[in-house]
Amino acid sequence: MNVKFFNIALATVVAASAVFADGEAKETAPATGAVRMITEATFPPYEFRQGTEIVGIDVEICKAIAKELGKELKIEDVEFDSVLPSLIAGKAELAAAGITVTEDRKMMVDFSHPYVRTGIVFVYAKDRPFEKGEDAKGKRVGVQNGTTSADFVREQLGQDPEMFDSPASAFAAMKSGKVDVVIADIDPAKNLIKGEPDYDISDFLTVEEYAIAVKKNQPEFLAIVNKVIDELDASGKLDEIKDEWTAKADALQEAEGAKAE
């Protein structure tokens, strides 16, 4: 490891903690010794609960970043639309929640190099398929609060979405007839329909990229985050992490489905 780089990063984190120490983050912030990740843990395989523990692809990436900084990782779980405001308020150093890079968000935070290329899809009942965006015009479309799926409904369909606190609660609302269709990111959408033979997903409605968000204007800290992501990618470890946690999230979803029946 590049020692000079490491020292700069530590200095940045310590300085940041000192600033936060008398600020808003007091209750949640361990002043030193930990890197704090803020997330929203209803988004398998990126972040989800296994028992009480929050696990997933984003957790593994943030653990690798914490390791590079010689610190442990602390995770805090909030609603998705509070993830970036909490980061900006100094409650965490890293925001990782399958966060799509958008121009609006770039005005609020800085993003790492992207680590996933993805997009949103319809989740629909097979006897009522939705393929193209316009198929949902005038229909009740369920989405998670504050997401790019919500933006899509407003901007591309010119209507208001029905808001839910997770992709799973939007899906449950579709099953009980409260919405006609759900839009969600493809990976959590694939997870939702595991063990659900009556439901399917469409092709991509958008092309998006996920990245980790950090507070603006911390070039040294962002450089460390990028270095870790680049190394995970180049070594093939990122693909391993993705495969491992996709399989674990799917197994969990299938077990939950079997329990519910």
x-marked contacts with ligand GLN along 164-203 as a string, rule CB under 6 A: ---------------------x------------------
**Residue with Cβ nearer ligand GLN (119 or 257):** 119
Using the minimum distance from each CB to ligand GLN, give the nearer residue, 163 or 223.
163
Contact flag: residue 100 with ligand GLN (CB under 6 A)? yes
Name the one range near ligand GLN by CB under 6 A: 93-101, 157-165, 189-197, 238-246.
93-101
Our finding on whether 111 is near ligand GLN (CB under 6 A) is no
Among 40, 93, 110, 180, binds ligand GLN (CB under 6 A): 40
Contact between 99 and ligand GLN per CB under 6 A: yes
Q: CB of 247: closest distance to ligand GLN in angstroms?
A: 20
DSSP code per residue over the chain: --HHHHHHHHHHHHHHHHHHHTSGGGGT--SSSEEEEEE-S-BTTTBEEETTEEESHHHHHHHHHHHHTT-EEEEEE--HHHHHHHHHTTS-SEE-SSPBP-HHHHTTSEE----EEE-EEEEEETTS---SGGGGTTS-EEEETTSHHHHHHHHHH-SPPEEESSHHHHHHHHHTTS-SEEEEEHHHHHHHTTT-TTEEE-S-S--EEE--EE-SS-HHHHHHHHHHHHHHHHTTHHHHHHHHHHHHHHHHHHHHHHHH-
Interface residues with ligand GLN (CB under 6 A) are: 40, 43, 80, 97-100, 144, 147-148, 185
